[in-house]
Homo-oligomer: A and B are copies of this chain.
Amino acid sequence: MIEINKHRYSFPEILTIGFIVVIIVGTFLLKLPIATRAGLETTWMTAIFTSTSATCVTGLLLVDTAAHWTWFGQLVITMLMEVGGLGFMTFAVMGFLLIRRRMRLSTQLLTQEALNLDHLSQIRVVYLIIKLSLLIQGIGAIFLTFDLVPKYGFKRGLWLSIFQAISAFCNAGFDLFGNSLSDFKNDPYFLIVTAILIIAGSFGFLVWQDIVEYRRFHRMSLHTKLALRTGGVLVFLSILVYLITEKNLSQFANEMSPINRFINTIFMAITPRTAGLTTIPYDHLSSAGISYTTILMFIGGAPGSTAGGVKTTTIGLIALQSIATLRGKSDTVMAHRRFTQENIFRALTLLFISVVLILSAVLLLVATQALPVKDPLSYVLFEAVAAFGTTGISLGITPTLNAIGKIIIMLLMFVGRVGIYTVMFSIFNAKPEKQTYRYPEESVLIG
């Protein structure tokens, strides 16, 4: 809790208001004449849309980043991505540690000293997150310079390396090449460095900490185990699916060698959760590939990371719970630990509200847009999920939307990044109540 003018703001309120403030500041900075290249004009809609997309690390865009914005404009975008990526991760991790501390407090008796020590470690955690994040991005940028400086010269190559490392790590999906990473489809070195940055960002701080601290899988926290397992299964499954639906990208056989096409397939399995940097035009994919990508974008990465979506732990937990129920077990267990009922309910709620939100947005978009495609449903669904999952892969319809459509996409990006829970809690301002009584149980028929 932080007290301002006698009003105590809760964590969710700070996060929601904080993001709005950052977006507004970003909008004004991008509207400054020095942000736009000579001869071009930046409308208020373009400024706020770009600011929202950068802060929410999504990457859906109305104008090309390199062609439209000056170096100053690009620097503003970099800052917004960094604040959006790291700022959110820091808050999520702090919130989680706070809850875990409260839980420990309720089960164990701690002295005041222990409490203060714990409070002190909060600041240490923020410091650690920022230090580790900048370190990973720095190393990534250096690795990229080996490739980009020879190609683009020192000054431009260095700036491209920094920008792309931040965009990859923050899962922001911005690029300075004008066509995402299409120019790099035959550059495995660049793709592998980018993929590692994406993965590092999308697993988040809690996972890194466990990997650095414990190294052995069995000693890690339940959160890390669930995030790593679900993430691993998804990447493996996705490579398989894309190999089948896109036939190892056979349509690009005249542009790429088979081994490069395989590396691009692996990249395709990693980028929809939720980096959004692409090496091939997604509207060339098969319908099955597009549908599957929509699912991956919806799932996203781990919580407490730079990734969006409903999160891997949500899907992993619900899958484990479903298997447990089908096998007649009342507890959902992984690695000799039982998931809390609160976690399961939270996952269920998150999934349900996300689906309702996406479906409402799709219906609104289909109803309000005159789209240049014959059957807009799969396009609209793809674009809405790309916004909500903060993935930012586009089938190209975002710039063609009218004002209502652009606002819907912006709201989806915002809710997708700040989190349905955070936004809902800010609106409802709900406080967990002490229950003084419980109603009697009654069973209903399900399914």
Binding site for B on A (CB under 8 A): 92-93, 96, 99-100, 103, 206, 221-223, 226-227, 241, 244-245, 286-288, 290-292, 295, 302-304, 310-311, 313-314, 317-319, 321-322, 325-331, 333, 336-353, 359, 362-363, 366-367, 373-380, 419-421, 424-425, 428, 430-433, 435, 438-447
Partner of A304, one of B341, B346, B445: B445
Query: A344 near B346 (CB under 8 angstroms)?
Result: no
Given contacts A311-B446, A345-B344, contact A329 B438 (CB under 8 A): no
Nearest 8 pairs of A and B residues by beta carbon: A328-B430, A377-B378, A375-B375, A322-B349, A223-B444, A222-B442, A325-B349, A288-B366
The answer for the CA separation of A350 and B352 in the assembled complex, in Å, is: 13
Partner of A346, one of B336, B367, B433, B446: B446
Query: B421 near A447 (CB under 8 angstroms)?
Result: yes
This chain's copy number in the assembly: 2
The answer for the CA separation of A438 and B339 in the assembled complex, in Å, is: 11
The answer for the CA separation of A323 and B223 in the assembled complex, in Å, is: 25
Shortest Cβ distance from residue A345 to the other chain B in the assembled complex, whole angstroms: 5
Partner of A363, one of B103, B291, B433: B291
Minimal Cβ-Cβ distance residue in B for A309: B447
Residues on B with beta carbons closer than 8 Å to the beta carbon of A433: 328-329
Shortest Cβ distance from residue A308 to the other chain B in the assembled complex, whole angstroms: 11
The answer for the CA separation of A420 and B378 in the assembled complex, in Å, is: 27
Query: B350 near A348 (CB under 8 angstroms)?
Result: no
The answer for the CA separation of A344 and B93 in the assembled complex, in Å, is: 28
Shortest Cβ distance from residue A100 to the other chain B in the assembled complex, whole angstroms: 6
| Beyond A291-B363, A330-B342, 17 extra complex contacts between A and B, CB < 8 Å | A96-B445, A222-B444, A245-B363, A288-B363, A302-B445, A303-B445, A314-B446, A325-B345, A325-B348, A326-B421, A329-B433, A331-B439, A337-B440, A339-B444, A342-B443, A373-B375, A378-B378
